[in-house]
Amino acid sequence: MARFRSISPRNTNRPAIATGSTSRWCSPAPRRAGASCAKPRGRTSVMSVRQAIHSFLLIACYLMLAASAFAAGTETQAARSGGKVHSSAEAQLLAVLNLAQKGDYDSAINDLSDLIEARPNFRLAQLVYGELMVARTGRSIDPAISEKMRDQRDALLDEAKSRWAHRVSAATDGKVPDVILQLSPEYDNVVVVDLSNNRLYLFDNEQGVPRLVSDFYTTIGRGGAGKQVEGDMRTPIGIYHITRYIDDNKLPELYGVGALPVNYPNALDRLHGRTGYGIWLHGVPRTTYSRTPRASEGCVVIANDDFESIREQVTIGKTPVIMTTGLNWVSAAEVEQQRTAMLSTIESWRHSWQAIDTKSYLAYYAPSFVSDKGLDKKDFAIEKKRINATKTKIEVDLSDITIMRYPGEDRMMKVMFNQAYTSNNYHAEDRKVQYWQQSDDGDWQIVLETEQD
């Protein structure tokens, strides 16, 4: 895209921008090649300035909400983060938009110039600065330039809408997402990506309950969400985990300061025949601060500073990554109710196995069940009946149980736990992953069981 001229190192002696001033500091206003700094044309009417800026705000889909809405959003963010608001370029940009909404255009432009000086590669900030500067002079952008840059401009405005919509929303205040019912102590944290709203959330594990630590704007695949086949440019929907860290010096500049690959396709993806590979959480090229909402080939992309923050907190080989389309934020009491019900179902399954009640045990497996050995329900039942016929005693202990609602699937839970099995003639300790699905009659049954996800 065409670039706006970046700010030169800060000059503390530069003239202040003021309405009606006989001198005007023009950098970093967007200019065509060869254009000179426009001379003041006299005092612009307040009404014309407001009308010009208002047209920009409408294009940005009502970015400038009331100042009280911004304050409420900031307070909500502080509450989510234990009283600390994450200091970021995003927060600074939204504060500038709030100033413009209140009519304090001089402060908005000055603060925005400070942001651009600190983040000259923040293209959205450059766009807003250019729009406000042009609007402030009472002029309009050359239609030819607007037409040429329409796609890039629209994409940046989509980014602005996504950032603002999240900031002013109080839907998460005092609530938790119902995708996480229980976290075992082995997980220090969990990453949740809301693909529909371009937002990544990092939760800490506090005694099995998620606590929101921070959240970040993110970019997803050009094809949207719901990966099915290799090359569809979509970001997958599902539950994965971070497999490794790839250092900056081993990557092309496209990936920024590093990458955290996830285990797509997982066992459920493979069962459904989904293909593709190389789904990463990674940074951005240093030539830009962020990318527009849909710009990757399927990866989840965040600003380099945000990536570093996440990398320092996640655990390689452990941290779950939930990719979903929309989050349902509910009360802790509601999550507790769902968690208790699911734990009761899991316990009933365990008890039937331990009691060598083969009929009841097999009833917990769906007709469509497939094992990690490729056995369907019929062959699995034959195998279990044969094994149980040799048993006089079975003990099954489950520990470190994690329960997550599986996104993109109808009424499905992903359950992970450590299992210790002891019988009269065998002992084994395994890691088990089960996918439970609720039938139309309300019963929960296992559709897939595996030791390797």
- 3-state SS, 196-257, equals HHCEEEEEEEECCEEEEEEEEECEEECCEECCCCCCCCEECCEEEEECCCEEHHHCCHHHCC
The CATH code belonging to domain 176-329 is 2.40.440.10
Which whole-number Å values give the CA distances from 421 to 350, 377, 385, 429, in the listed order?
11, 21, 17, 6
Contact in structure between 136 and 105 (CB atoms under 8 Å): yes
pLDDT digits (tens, 9 = 90+) for 250-286: 999 999 999 999 999 999 999 999 999 999 999 999 9
pLDDT bracket for residue 140 (50, 70, 90): low
> 24-28, 232-236, 299-303, 408-412: which has the minimum mean pLDDT?
24-28
Return d(Cα 199, Cα 408) in angstroms, integer.
17
Which pLDDT belongs to residue 165?
72
pLDDT digits (tens, 9 = 90+) for 354-379: 999 999 999 999 999 999 889 999 99
Which pLDDT belongs to residue 133?
72
Which pLDDT belongs to residue 430?
95
Q: Give the rounded percent of residues in the chain with a pLDDT score beyond 90.
A: 59
Residue type, 147: E
Specify the residue for token string 């569809």.
232
Which pLDDT belongs to residue 144?
57
Contact in structure between 322 and 405 (CB atoms under 8 Å): no
pLDDT bracket for residue 211 (50, 70, 90): very high
pLDDT at 75 over 50: no
Return d(Cα 435, Cα 365) in angstroms, integer.
10
pTM: 0.76
Return d(Cα 332, Cα 450) in angstroms, integer.
30
Q: Residue 146's CB: how many other CB atoms inside 10 A?
A: 11
- Spell out a b/e string for 354-388, using b for 16 or more CB atoms within 10 Å of the CB, else e: beeebeebbebbbeebbbeeebebeebbeebeeeb
Which sequence spans correspond to the domains of the chain?
46-168, 176-329, 331-450
Q: What number is the average pLDDT over the span 4-33?
A: 32
Nearest 5°: phi and psi at 296?
-95, 180
CATH 3.10.450.50 fits 331-450, yes or no: yes
